[in-house]
Structure 1
Amino acid sequence: MPKTLLDIVRECDNFPYQADNPEFYKATLAEYYAFKVAGSACTLGHVPHDIVSAFDFSSCGWAVDHDAQTVTLGHNQTIDKFNFDHEKWSSALTATMSTTTAKMSKSPHPALSKLSTTWRNETFPIANPVTGRTMLEIERSASAIFGILTSGVQLTCYVEDPARGLLLWIARRSRTKQTYPGLLDNTAAGGLETRFSTCPLEAVVREAVEEASLDEEIVRRGIRPSIRISYYHAKAPRAEGPGFLQPEVEGVYSLRLEPGVVPVPGDGEVEGFYLWSVEEVLGALRNREFKLNSAVAVIDFLVRRRVVTAENEAGYAEIVSRLHRRLDLD
């Protein structure tokens, strides 16, 4: 049965809101251990209880408190032990996390053993939610296990055709891709790995050039940023325990292309591109043909272009609200 746009947004932003139902919110978090770093009160993510039960965190230098339900990285490695040198402290935390995730990949636990086949050799930054400063880095494929806040970039390329109106360039992911093979995607998109964490524009330009073979000068000259979208996604429960948590912020960009400029697959991650009308895009969205976080980015684009409005879409206010969720991990 076709879904409404609100259904799609709710499916992406599906972690409970504390204000809506405090008891349900509390009960949901009870299935996880808070991920912390020694010397900081901030919660950086959430680890499912079955992972904590199956993996010996203490053997990698973590402190586990089963009463408080916390796993704390860098036990007795607060920044003062490094003479308040942030870089040395961050490097030590990153090294411990690297040892931990490498050991996890050798575990027989089903969710952990998958790391050996999905390893990216790319890292995501983990930032202090108060200061915004990077505290450490984590192997990208392990980020969901720790439920950390991640970031990405999404680019929607479009054409304004005098005869057909607004057209969007939609990508189909390669059917051999490790994640979400064959699903529809934005024109270009990607996770914001550490080296691009402070310059998302460079990340989206790189994705546009590598994935869609677009001319870098055309991209830089015409690309337009918008207000970021954010959501808190809880994956479906697993046989072993609750689903992994994925709070995320996406930098969204748009680029108007001339009719003669055609995206072409460039790095093997995209099977092909389609220039679709708004009606075709909406149909594919409602038929659930898009990768989920790309779907909400496309919906956000259609909202900003006033294709989707309060007059023509039920639940419009909730759609807009959920696309800009405040992400508190505590």
Structure 2
Amino acid sequence: MAQTKTYLDIVKECDNFPYPTGNQAIYNSYLKNYYAFKVAGYPQVLGHVPNYIVRAFTFPDGWIVNHESQELILTPALTDLDDENTAREKRTSLMEITLKLMSQCKARPEFTSLARKWRNETFPIHATSPPAAGTQRPILLLEIERSASALFGILTTGVQLTCYTQHPAATGEIKLWIARRSRQKQTYPGMLDNAAAGGLETGMSALEGVVRETVEEASLDERVVRMGVRSTGALSYFHVKSSPLSGRGDEGEVGFLQPEVEYIFELQLGEGIRPRPGDSEVEEFYLWNVEEVKEALLRGEFKLNSAIVVIDFFIRHGVITPENEGDYTEIVCRLHRRLG
């Protein structure tokens, strides 16, 4: 097998933002490349925007850009009569106006690419209520166009499904259904992927998200999915796009941040049931044994966050063990990063 990577290489490539518990000087110097994104009245840092993006764009009224503290604060005028829904609508509206202005700006290609990538889907941005409000609880502050999530470096959530078959007890051989992404896709065209995957837009649960993606992308019957799908946990990572810390470029989005939680599901398919491309997302499906999947994985042919899902599958099914993998403990820990 022509091996160019290790499992730990893949995990580190996906989770490649410096750790504050590591070299503090490196961590602090890296943060200097970003403005902290906040919402007025809430202390939490909700994301990070690269310096070059903030300095190349004139933000409209309703934003405070503090160059000294490197903070970007969303502050639409709220009145005492505003309830949470009204406040959220105002923030969401200002964010949409801002992003559309960005998409018309010619200062950098990252701005004009927003129009090309616009999905008309939104991701939620949550925080906890201020201490003055009493018991702290999570609230939805605003929604943001999906294609701008990495530009603002917000925490996003998604789902991934691994479909597999397993021979009866005679051999117990496992085979995985692997998808080839369409070569026309805007992100990671032609790379290998899990059977189904997607981001969780505002208001969608993990289960409903994985069912929707599986029916759309893999053409599996909804009843088959709901009856057999199994939740197997969540993975988390903090990825820097197109940085010196990343082994590959990603559409020129230099330094864009992608902290993410992936809810993981698996579905064992019986004989005669097979996924088939159902939309423009997937070009083809392959049924590969473990060794074939390993070879493609270690050659770097998988989309990064799908690669770590395959590694997690291998761990749970005893393919990767403490006995055959020297970096086992570090791999397991790095698959579950605390994101704050």
TM norm structure 1 = 0.94
2-side partners of 1:139 and 1:224: how far apart? 30
What's the CA shift for 1:181? Answer: 0.8
2-side partners of 1:291 and 1:257: how far apart? 23
Contact 1:38–1:76 under 8 Å retained in 2 = no
RMSD in angstroms over aligned alpha carbons?
Answer: 1.7
2-side partners of 1:18 and 1:75: how far apart? 32
What's the CA shift for 1:132? Answer: 3.1
What's the CA shift for 1:83? Answer: 2.9
The range that moved more, 129-138 or 300-309, is 129-138
The range that moved more, 285-294 or 105-114, is 105-114
- Corresponding position of 2:119: 120
What secondary structure does 2:38 align onto? strand
The range that moved more, 234-243 or 19-28, is 234-243
Contact 1:61–1:74 under 8 Å retained in 2 = yes
What's the CA shift for 1:74? Answer: 1.9
Aligned runs of 1:52-91 on 2, under 5 Å? 52-57=54-59, 59-77=60-78, 81-83=79-81, 85-91=83-89
Aligned runs of 1:195-234 on 2, under 5 Å? 195-196=203-204, 199-234=205-240
What secondary structure does 1:133 align onto? strand
Q: Residue 192 of structure 2 is aligned with which of 181, 184, 195?
A: 184
- Corresponding position of 2:133: none
1-side partners of 2:282 and 2:253: how far apart? 33
What's the CA shift for 1:164? Answer: 6.9
2:242 corresponds to 1:236: yes
- Corresponding position of 2:265: 253
Question: Could you report, residue by residue, the CA deviation over 1:94-138 in whole angstroms, capped at 9, with x for unpaired residues?
Answer: 000000001010111111111111111111111115733211000
State how many pairs are aligned. Answer: 322
Letter in 1 for 2:97: T
- Corresponding position of 2:19: 17
- Corresponding position of 2:134: none
TM norm structure 2 = 0.91
What secondary structure does 1:283 align onto? helix
Contact 2:76–2:90 under 8 Å retained in 1 = no
Taking structure 1 as reference, are residues 82 and 270 closer, same or farther at Cα in structure 2, changes over 3 Å only?
farther
State the identity as a percent.
56
What secondary structure does 1:313 align onto? coil
What's the CA shift for 1:312? Answer: 1.0
2-side partners of 1:49 and 1:8: how far apart? 28
Taking structure 1 as reference, are residues 82 and 94 closer, same or farther at Cα in structure 2, changes over 3 Å only?
farther
Aligned runs of 1:117-156 on 2, under 5 Å? 117-128=116-127, 131-156=137-162
1-side partners of 2:254 and 2:29: how far apart? 12
2-side partners of 1:82 and 1:271: how far apart? 53
Letter in 2 for 1:157: C
Taking structure 1 as reference, are residues 65 and 255 closer, same or farther at Cα in structure 2, changes over 3 Å only?
same
1-side partners of 2:201 and 2:89: how far apart? 16
Taking structure 1 as reference, are residues 201 and 65 closer, same or farther at Cα in structure 2, changes over 3 Å only?
same
2-side partners of 1:24 and 1:256: how far apart? 44
What's the CA shift for 1:11? Answer: 0.1
Q: Which runs of 4+ in 1 moved over 4 A?
A: 238-242
- Corresponding position of 2:173: 165
Unmatched 5+ residue regions in structure 1? none
Taking structure 1 as reference, are residues 71 and 265 closer, same or farther at Cα in structure 2, changes over 3 Å only?
same
Taking structure 1 as reference, are residues 129 and 179 closer, same or farther at Cα in structure 2, changes over 3 Å only?
farther
What's the CA shift for 1:152? Answer: 0.4
Unmatched 5+ residue regions in structure 2? 130-136, 244-248
